[in-house]
Structure 1
């Protein structure tokens, strides 16, 4: 339990050089940035936080955002064209996707048509209300196709919450890596999600950190986010691991 009287430290002071592997900054293709101008506002906010490398991950969700590899590439190209005309903005952007684990996703896995964060690492999500009924089949298919699933925001799936972390352990045993949302650390999604986030950190189950930025207010909240020294000690190894694993430069394809 963290003391109320512990000194609070700004998280942003430790994000310089961080690589955000989960965000929705590409224009006009999901519930993130609505157009290139909105994307630019987000990128300026990233730069103010010291985050200058981003892997954009628009939703691929058949019933809502039926994006394809091609539509995501086009949105990235549109944003890059806009960036070329802005000399004072220095943010590098690659693209991948955040895939809802549904039947369409299974078909993409079989076709090996996935946009990965790096090599064979693919960002996936589930409904917040229940796991897909064929979750075991999906995870097995990912493994047989040599993909490594990174489960986005595991702390946000209330159906996984319990007094123990057994349900999370089961997912880890089946090959899932975990990507925590930074905003969960300050209770942005509710106290249960915040408590679960720190329980997962304490159990050393969290592999990577992302912002899951959709709107400018998300980055603005991160800019004023404070953690205790104890909390920061749990988060910093994950920040460093994310930077090391997903490092890229402008020459990286």
Structure 2
């Protein structure tokens, strides 16, 4: 019998063995996990989802989170020390960062002090309200020094939204890779972000996907999230590409 209802697929069924390349699980250094105990509880929730490999990406944002490779590696070491005491928690964590693209970021690029997701791939973000005035200069400098910018959650920048997606196409032409937030697919950030997320998927402009987990409720939402069978097919290749690219 013909059904007017599309079958819903649970997103978690596609996350087994996934590598999360965007999250805030390191303790006490940004707006994510506040302490080691909170980090450990998040890691147990990750494991329940079948995710046991994580690249942690704390904010580097001079006015708010003035993190450095030293502060990030210190938090990573602290978490790993506690993690290694737990026989029932089998999660591997690498340390990278999510960099706000601003004038201070230019200085870090020039010093080549960036913690990358892998090799020369660096996770970057912008203000949600407007692009940096020197965006083109930043992208040029990154590429001059052989870095590949991976733009975090492109769907969340309302100033990029347009019917033609021309702003996104321009960034892709400038060499930006795009990392989608999984929570955008279920409307966590609003309907506009959800609609743009699926349009970017339909246009094959998304390269990777991450959770952008800051707190327990983000993983709880992912554990119950469902999307249509048609839309999950668009996601499948992005999930696999993320796993393949960042395998460790």
**Which residue number corresponds to residue 141 of structure 1?**
141
What does the per-residue CA deviation read over 1:196-221, in whole Å, with 9 as the maximum and x for residues that have no partner? 00000000000000000000000000
1:184 aligns with 2:184: yes
Deviation at 1:150, TM superposition (A): 0.1
The equivalent residue for 1:210 is 210
SS at match of 2:122: strand
- Counterpart Cα distance in 2 of 1:234 and 1:63: 38
Other-structure match for 1:251:
none
The residue number in structure 2 matching 1:77 is 77
* CA–CA distance in structure 1, aligned partners of residues 149 and 44 of structure 2: 30
Answer yes or no: is 1:219 the counterpart of 2:219. yes
Deviation at 1:139, TM superposition (A): 0.2
Task: Give the Cα separation in 1 of the matches to 2:51 and 2:99.
Answer: 24
What is the rounded CA distance, in whole Å, between the counterparts of 1:237 and 1:85 in structure 2? 36
Deviations 1:46-81 (A, max 9, x none): 000000000000000000000001000000000001
Mind listing any 5+ residue stretches in structure 1 that lack a counterpart?
Answer: 249-253
TM-score, with structure 2 as normaliser: 0.98
1:112-150 Cα offsets, whole Å, 9 max, x none, are 000000000000000000000000000000010000000
1:12 corresponds to: 12
Q: What are the Cα deviations for residues 69-114 of structure 1, in whole angstroms up to 9, with x where unaligned?
A: 1000000000001111111100000010000001111000000000
1:5 deviation in Å?
Answer: 1.4
Structure 2 residue 246 is matched with structure 1 residue 246 = yes
What RMSD, in angstroms, separates the aligned Cα atoms of the two structures? 0.9
CA distance in 1, matches of 2:179, 2:4: 27
Aligned residues: 246
Work out the CA distance in 2 between the residues paired with 1:31 and 1:47. Answer: 22
1:161 lines up with 2:155 in the alignment = no
The offset of 1:223, in angstroms, is 0.2
The secondary structure found in structure 2 opposite 1:46 is helix
Paired with 1:18 and 1:228, the residues of 2 have a C-alpha distance of 20
Establish whether residue 33 from structure 1 lines up as the match of residue 33 from structure 2: yes
Partner of 1:236: 236
Match of 1:94 in 2: 94
Distance 1:47 1:4, change over 3 A: farther
Gaps of 5+ in 2: none
| Alpha-carbon distance in structure 2 between the residues aligned to 1:108 and 1:99 | 10
